[in-house]
Structure 1
Amino acid sequence: MLARIERAAARFWGTLTFGAHANGYVAGPDGRPSHLWIAQRSPHKPTDPGKFDNLIGGGVPHGQTPFETLVREGWEEAGLAADLVRRATRGRVIDLQRALPDCAGHGLQREQLFVYDLALPPGVQPCNQDGEVASLQLLPVAEALALAGGDTMTVDAALATLDFALRWRLLGEREHAALTARTAGLFGAMPD
């Protein structure tokens, strides 16, 4: 390694960062996702204040793997015990690159998002521990997907939710085919 920089400066310099997100879901009687847990970010967060987010999501710091970050953030953001979060299953890796108007007028977000799925029992009630989440709500899948398709969810979370919807085939056949074709270069396999 030649150097380390503060994660907050990464967008200014356009350096690659890593994130870990989990789509927390409750399954219906058929075993398929029927509801998704959606977080609303604190209005005091410096990035995307008040926007909707995945149940768990956070930046991967130096010295931690994406899965270790997921377990840590699972407690901080949702009050979930480590043994429960460790049951998360791997989704895909999303390669995200987009220009940002922040960072003194310019910036570039280059990030690899490691997406996981976390099935939660129906009686589990997530509860934020670190003040970064204003509220958590359990929404029917269709409502969660509508949030992801609008502009009230963070870009990272919207993409992680889209990945979830595509992998679980939660969209109609036409929409699934169209989105699969449009996102072909966005999603990659998660490394072992």
Structure 2
Amino acid sequence: MMFATSDPSSFMPWYLRGNCDALGHVTPVIADHLSRARLFRLIDQRLSLDPGTRLDEAFAAIRASLFAAGLIGPERHELMPVRLEPYGAQLATIDRSALRALGLWATKIHVNGLVEAEGTLRPRVWLSRRSASSNAAPLAYDTMIAGGQPAGASLVETLAKESEEEVGLPRRLSATARKVKDIVVRYESELGLHREVLAIYDLSVPATFQPDHRDGEIVESALLDWPRFQAAVDGSLPMKFSSRVVSKDLLARLGQAAERDRLTSMPKAL
């Protein structure tokens, strides 16, 4: 499934070593800067990474140049995989701070935290509010757990780490999360072009659970009943784009399941 809200014509594709498929997409401002810095080559309107350098070294130089020019924020000290395709092999790594500016693929885990609600087939849903200092969508709401998959980590490892850091969820509980599906999204923000695989999980959380925000990325959590969750997804609360996509999917899936259960439980006409 693909959700796209960006206009590709507003970004310039760039290529690696003559490859036919674009490795990333950049704004004209960044394309001009990297060309002038001789980190990218522009030949016959085709933008490409200098093939004479090692990729990891090239990406480190690109990140440093973009930061020095004020085009991206400071180093995040978290290496992300560079892939030609959403599920392709890792070609290199790059610091997270430059990922969006270069329009590279990323994989993110999203965990729907669900609490059984008495007397209804639809659960209550945890949402987490991002801090005011977040690089993307400050003070907007996320799914209960959301985070990028760094280089060298599996999805399960990423889920366990983010669960502990963002809401204090013990690993014995995060290990029970159920993988539901992947959704591929493409959208733009002030950071650049986001191209993401959203790996979606559902997790049943005890009613006694209280989030413990440990890494400073989340400032508060909200446990919403189903009508309030619907309203939040419809716009009553600010939500990060990818989390709204995941939440809409949850509404559709569990709403349909609840309706099927309701119809199944109805007495049959004689």
TM-score range, shorter chain: 0.7 to 0.9
Q: Are the equivalent residues in 2 in contact too, given 1:22–1:115 (CA < 8 A)? A: yes
Determine the C-alpha separation between the residues in 1 that align with 2:205 and 2:213.
16
Any conservation in 1 of the 2:122–2:258 contact (CA below 8 Å)? no
Larger displacement relative to structure 2 (2-11 or 159-168)? 2-11
Unaligned runs of 5+ in 1: 174-192
For residues 54-93 of structure 1, the aligned pairs below 5 Å read 54-93=143-182
CA distance in 2, matches of 1:27, 1:59: 28
2:212 to 127, 130, 145: 127
* Structure 1 residue 92, shift from structure 2 partner: 1.2
CA distance in 2, matches of 1:123, 1:89: 20
Where does residue 3 of structure 1 map in the other structure? 92
Are residue 99 (structure 1) and residue 188 (structure 2) matched?
yes
| Equivalent-residue separation in structure 1 for 2:206 and 2:120 (angstroms) | 11
Alignment of 1:102-181 (within 5 A): 102-103=190-191, 107-150=192-235, 152-169=238-255
Assess if the C-alpha contact under 8 Å between 2:121 and 2:258 holds in 1.
Answer: no
**How much has 1:31 moved relative to structure 2?**
7.8
Residue by residue, what CA displacement relative to the aligned partner does 1:131-154 show, whole Å, maximum 9, x if unpaired? 111111211122122212226100
Greater relative contact order structure (CA < 8 Å, 6+ sep): 1
Match of 2:193, as an amino acid?
L
- Structure 2: how far apart are the matches of 1:27 and 1:172? 13
Cα drift, residue 170 of structure 1: 5.7
Say which one has the larger Rg: 2
Percent identity reads: 32
Rounded to whole Å, the distance in 2 between the matches of 1:158 and 1:171 is: 20
Distance in 2 between the 1:170 and 1:75 partners?
Answer: 31
What is the deviation of 1:98? 1.2
Contiguous gaps of at least 5 residues in structure 2: 1-89, 260-270
Output the amino acid matched with 1:69.
T
Normalised by the length of structure 1, the TM-score is: 0.81
Counterpart AA for 1:58: G
CA contact 2:122–2:255 (8 Å) conserved in 1: no
Counterpart Cα distance in 1 of 2:113 and 2:125: 6
Q: Deviations over 1:1-27 (max 9, x none)?
A: 432222221211111001001010101
CA distance in 1, matches of 2:233, 2:112: 12
Number of matched pairs? 169
Equivalent in the alignment of 2:108: 19
Matched, 1:51 2:133: no
What is the letter of the counterpart of residue 5 of structure 1?
Answer: I
